[in-house]
Amino acid sequence: MRITRIAAILLIGVSLALVACASPMPTPTNSHLNIHFIDVGQGDSIILRYGSSSMIIDAGTNASTNSLINTIKGMGISKFDIVVGTHPHEDHIGGMDAVINQFDIGTIYMPKVTTTTKTFQDVLIAIKNKGLTITTPETETIFNFGETQCTILAPNSQTYEDLNNYSIIIKLVYGNTSFLLTGDAQTESEKEMLSNGYNLQSDVLKVGHHGSSSSTSPEFLKAVSPQYSIISVGKNNDYGHPHQVTLDKLAGAGVKVYRTDLNGTITIISDGSDLSVSTMR
């Protein structure tokens, strides 16, 4: 395990020596936001914790389901207050039915779009069998997660040619720190957010579409102006993700890049003022 310190963070009652040796997925406290970018191979899954509250955004691939479920149980999570399926591609909702089946679930957000895949149908069946309903996201809707303010910024249109652009995009603000989580949103969705004048500036950017050249346009990257970025991507994947052009744009903007294929699961902790990053490798 390798720990990288980005900024000094004060953990009450815990010495700095212990922080340096801490698990990459530490037990959350009432005053810290923990965001875990789980290594699920060529897919996405983000788990957020604040005190006793938990949220999951995407659930990886079908192949990574057992690993994801074991990770969640290892974190001591029994309920997700909020579940977000950014869009119905298998690499984002492959394990969502298992999550819904095996844990208590609060609110479920999914975009208003359907597919005929078995993976998507399995998620719908799991939702129905537990008597749950889907909340369709509306842009500029704000909901709270602990002391974190979450704002839905996309999708901004009713129909898209590419399913990736239906991705739910959420900006999280905790104290003076902020995160932009983009699913697989591509330049079309990015342009809509820019046109709408949304405040996109964020300390951390979850890079869209696994670092594909179809996302992270120069104008969008300038508006977000992140210090740190996360790319959720599988090692030696068939798509060549992340594309070099995206890595070059991030490097040119002076953005520190973390990748799940190189770093494993990545955890960012915010105390509302400073950020701390730890990686599995």
Residue 30: predicted pLDDT: 65
pTM for this predicted structure: 0.91
Question: What is the rounded average pLDDT of the residues 228-237?
Answer: 98
Whether residue 22 has pLDDT greater than 50: no
Question: By three-state DSSP, how is residue 92 classified?
Answer: helix
Residue 14: predicted pLDDT: 34
Question: By three-state DSSP, how is residue 152 classified?
Answer: strand
**Are the beta carbons of 29 and 58 closer than 8 angstroms?**
no
Query: Residue 37 — very low, low, confident or very high, per pLDDT cuts 50/70/90?
Result: very high
- 107 strand-pairing partners: 82
Q: ω before 26 within 30° of 0 (cis)?
A: no
Measured distance CA(157)–CA(168) in Å, rounded: 11
Question: Which distant-in-sequence residues (6+ apart) come within 8 Å of 112 by Cβ?
Answer: 136, 158
Whether residue 4 has pLDDT greater than 50: no
pLDDT digits (tens, 9 = 90+) for 213-227: 999 999 999 999 999
CA atoms within 13 A on the CB side of 227: 11
Query: Residue 93 — very low, low, confident or very high, per pLDDT cuts 50/70/90?
Result: very high
Query: Residue 31 — very low, low, confident or very high, per pLDDT cuts 50/70/90?
Result: confident
pLDDT digits (tens, 9 = 90+) for 56-88: 999 999 999 999 999 999 999 999 999 999 999
CA angle 210, 212, 217 (to 5 degrees): 115
- 172 strand-pairing partners: 150, 179
CA atoms within 13 A on the CB side of 204: 28
Question: What is the rounded average pLDDT of the residues 130-155?
Answer: 97
Of 41, 73, 75, whose CA–CA distance to 58 is shortest?
A: 41
Percent of the chain past pLDDT 70, that is, above it, reads 89
For the chain, the 3-state helix, strand and coil shares in percent, each to the nearest 5, are 25, 25, 45
**Are the beta carbons of 241 and 9 closer than 8 angstroms?**
no
Whether residue 273 has pLDDT greater than 60: yes
Which domains are assigned to the chain? 2-6+29-279 (3.60.15.10)
